[in-house]
Each structure stands twice: as C-alpha cells, then as structure tokens.
Amino acid sequence: MANRGGFSSRIGFIVAAAGSAVGLGNIWKFPYEVGQNGGAMFLLVYLLCTFIICFPIMVGEIAIGRHAKRDAYGSYATIGGKKWGYIGLFGILCGIMILSFYNVVAGWAFGYFIEISFSNLLAETSFSEFFGRYTADFGDNLIFSVCFMIITAFIVVKGVSGGIERASKILMPMLYVILIGLIIYSLTLENAMDGIRFYLLPDITKLNAETIYSALGQAFFSLSLGMGALVTYGSYIDKNQNIVGSAAMISIMDVSVAFLAGLLIFPLVFSQGQTPSEGPGLVFVALPGVFNAMGPLVGRIVGGGFFLLLCFAALTSTISLLEVPVAYLVDEKKLPRKAVVWGLAAFIFVVGLPSMLSQGAVRAFSSMSWYGDKSFLDFVSEVFSDISLPLGGCLMSIFIAVRWKKHNLSEEISHGFPNYKGSIHEKIINTMITVISPVLLGFMFINTV
C-alpha cells in the first residue's frame, strides 16, 4: 500500500477518535434529547445502549479498518468482496448528510462565541427569542458555517497526524475543565436540585418505544458509529494497539462528557424556570442566562470560552465526518487529497443549505407538510442519523457474523491483546456482535419502517 499516513501513537488515535465522538452530540443534542424524552429514564437507556450494543460495534469497526487498511468502502470490499462494499458506501453517504446539517449547528455555536465575546448577546431580554431570530437569519448563518467548513477542510488537508491529532490533544482536556467549573457553579443556584432529580431519578412510566429508539440513535450518533468513521480511523493504527482497551477509553470519554453536559444543563433549566423539553434550542437558551448572571465581564469571558470550546469539540467531529468521504476518494479513486478535500467541503456545504434555511428563513423548508410539519434539518437528522446509524451498525455486525467470521475478528483483535483468544472478553464481544446486535438492531429497524 502507498503511504497513507497514520496516527503517531496510541494516545494520538484515542484522542482523535474521542475527539470525533465528543461534539455537538454530547453538549447540544444529548441534553435536549434527555429533556424531550423523560429525563433520567432516557439517560439510563442511553447508557445501556452505549455499553451493551455500541461498545462491541465500535470494536468491530476499528478491527475491520485496521485489518483492511483502507477507507470505509474499501475495507468492506477487500475483506468481503464488492457487494459488501455497499455497507461502506452507505456509511459514506450518511457521513456526508450528517456533516451537511452538523456544520449548520456548529455555525450557530461559532456565532454564539462571537456574539457573546464581541457583541451584546448577554444583554438580550429573552434568550429564547434571540435564538429564534438568530437561527432564522440567513446572513449570519451563512458566514459562520462557511467559516466552519473552511476551518474543517483546512485541517483535513493536513492529514491525520498533522492536524487532527495535534488539535484534539490540547482541546479535549480543556473542555472537561470548563464543564466541571460550570457545573459547580450551576449547582449552587436556586432550584438546581429539581434539575438533578429530573436528570438522575428515573421514572419508569417514561419508558416507551420512542425513548428507546431515541436513546439508541443518540448512542450511535454520539459515538460516531455506524457510518465508517471508526473504520476509517482504525485503518490508520498499528497492529500492536489494543483495540478493546482503546474502544473502552473512547466510550468512557464520550459518555462522561455527555453526562457532564446534562449535569450542567438541567440545574440551569430548572433554576431559570425553563422547560426541559424545549428542543434543539435548549443549550443555546439555558446557558446565556447563567453567563449573564456572572456579570458583564466575567460572563463574556466564561461564556465566550465555553462556546469556543464547543466549537473545538464540534471541529474534531466535523474533521472525522469529512475524512470518511475524503479517504474513500483518495484510496479508491486515486484522486489528490487536497482537491478532494476542498471539492467535498464545497459540495457538502451546498447540500447543507436547505438545513440552514429550515429554521424559519424559508417556510418550505421550515415546516414540511409531507414530514409532519417538521423542518428539513429534523428530516436529515432523523433519517441519516437516528435511523441510518443503527442500521449501519446492524449491517456491520451481519458482515462480521456471516462474511468475515468471528474467528477472523478475534485474530485481528489479538494482535494487540495477547490473551484475547479464549478470554471472557472474546466471548462477550463475539456474542454481542454476531448474535445480539444483528437480532436486536434488525428487529428495531423493521419496527421503525
């Protein structure tokens, strides 16, 4: 194989993959999903989905990528033949569509950083009204999401270890620090405990099919699974890396950031008398209130800092989303990396325009009668992430069960995990991937359709 580049160390891979996982999914999407789906019950189901279903799937994806040393399509195709490559192609399509709307939301976060730091967002009388006005304003959205896509492309051009790894290493730890600081502050607010109760005390009556589907979709989205991102990143790592250990660390980092985000948001929501089921605006409405209460200067610094870190978290995710189709065109079509990156970035940006216009700017995209009056952004996010990612995970596990076979998976994992074969880890992972996941996910998919 030609020199494809690779991560420079084990930590480099873990940090980059965790950077892919940790993003808007944890800090923006997770809290509002919890708020809309009954609080603690959602959290519980989400944790179960993450550790029982998603963790083994993550191991499988990384192993496939490392074994084949190719992009998402090429990995399935080299191991299983051209037909199986369609699983990879489907993932690449999902990645493109996810990035198209993700970049729009990242643009909001970027805009909030600018508006809080350099303008007077914190002096607004209603943050909820402001959010509505802001997301409906095409001009601002356009500028900020163009910037975001350009920064993403710029880093992806530099290749895996140059850009992706270095950026992630510095920024991830900072995110933890600011989150924990803000949580301590928010817990001192009045009625904060009502928020904690909502978030941590499960109410069994809230358990229904809707909660389970949303939690499953959220777990896949948050861990960047089901669309080839980890197949692609896995293709850049060494044989002596322990895939199971790395996947465990990535999952724990991802879950802990989501958990902390909830711990921050719900005390704020309850202490400010807002409704937890507010939807996609939740963090954009709840957080400015607390920054405002810190006083003009401190609020500007802490608030600006928070949204800047959110942008960085989103950036390490957009990088991985763009890398998936880029790796495909570079590996399979032998196109030059630089041209591919800029061409795809422009294309995906254009695909994202209807999502950008769907928050009130253009009525036809904001409330689509053929789709239950929901917005185009909801449509793309539901179809290409909530439904397609678990489906992608299901197809991957079927691939391992019937085509690649579990003994080959074990062989690949054991390169970096000497006593893996015959261990309890092997039994659990094989059973989860080849039996439980295909059956459970397949059943759920048929049910949704």
Query: What residues make contact with ligand PHE under the rule CB under 6 A?
Result: 20-21, 23-26, 98, 221-222, 224, 227, 229, 317, 320-321
Closer residue to ligand PHE, CB minimum distance, 45 or 310: 310
Closer residue to ligand PHE, CB minimum distance, 20 or 128: 20
Q: What length is written for the chain?
A: 449
The total of other beta-carbon atoms located within 10 Å of residue 26's CB is 28
Cα distances (angstroms) measured from residue 100 to each of 218, 318, 355: 18, 10, 8
Minimum CB separation of residue 222 from ligand PHE in Å reads 4
DSSP assignments along 12-59, one per residue? HHHHHHHHHHSSHIIIIIHHHHHHHTTTHHHHHHHHHIIIIIIHHHHH
Closer residue to ligand PHE, CB minimum distance, 251 or 366: 251
Minimum CB separation of residue 414 from ligand PHE in Å reads 27
Minimum CB separation of residue 244 from ligand PHE in Å reads 20
Q: For 29-52, b where at least 16 C-beta lie within 10 A, e where not — what string?
A: bbbbbbbbbbbbbbbbbbeebbee
> For residue 202, what is the DSSP state?
-
Minimum CB separation of residue 387 from ligand PHE in Å reads 14
Minimum CB separation of residue 298 from ligand PHE in Å reads 28
CB 85 within 8 A of CB 431: no
Closer residue to ligand PHE, CB minimum distance, 29 or 300: 29
Residue number of the CB closest to ligand PHE reads 25
Closer residue to ligand PHE, CB minimum distance, 145 or 317: 317
Closer residue to ligand PHE, CB minimum distance, 316 or 410: 316
Minimum CB separation of residue 225 from ligand PHE in Å reads 7
Distance, in Å, from the CA atom of 19 to the CA atom of 145, rounded to the nearest integer, reads: 20
Minimum CB separation of residue 361 from ligand PHE in Å reads 24
Q: Encoding tokens for residue 385? A: 């992430």
Minimum CB separation of residue 245 from ligand PHE in Å reads 20
Minimum CB separation of residue 383 from ligand PHE in Å reads 14
Closer residue to ligand PHE, CB minimum distance, 102 or 379: 102
Nearest to 40, CA basis, from 191, 244, 200, 215: 200
Q: Encoding tokens for residue 248? A: 């465990």
Closer residue to ligand PHE, CB minimum distance, 217 or 303: 217
> Which ranges of 334-435 would DSSP assign to H, the alpha helix?
337-351, 353-356, 363-366, 376-381, 388-398, 406-414, 424-431
The total of other beta-carbon atoms located within 10 Å of residue 124's CB is 16
Query: What are the residues facing 368 on neighbouring strands?
Result: 374
Closer residue to ligand PHE, CB minimum distance, 20 or 75: 20
Closer residue to ligand PHE, CB minimum distance, 30 or 420: 30
Minimum CB separation of residue 133 from ligand PHE in Å reads 25
DSSP assignments along 77-114, one per residue? HHHH-GGGHHHHHHHHHHHHHHHHHHHHHHHHHHHHHH
Closer residue to ligand PHE, CB minimum distance, 26 or 103: 26
Distance, in Å, from the CA atom of 369 to the CA atom of 260, rounded to the nearest integer, reads: 37
Is residue 368 classed as helix, strand or coil in its secondary structure?
strand
Cα distances (angstroms) measured from residue 342 to each of 91, 229, 347, 435: 20, 19, 9, 41
Minimum CB separation of residue 190 from ligand PHE in Å reads 31
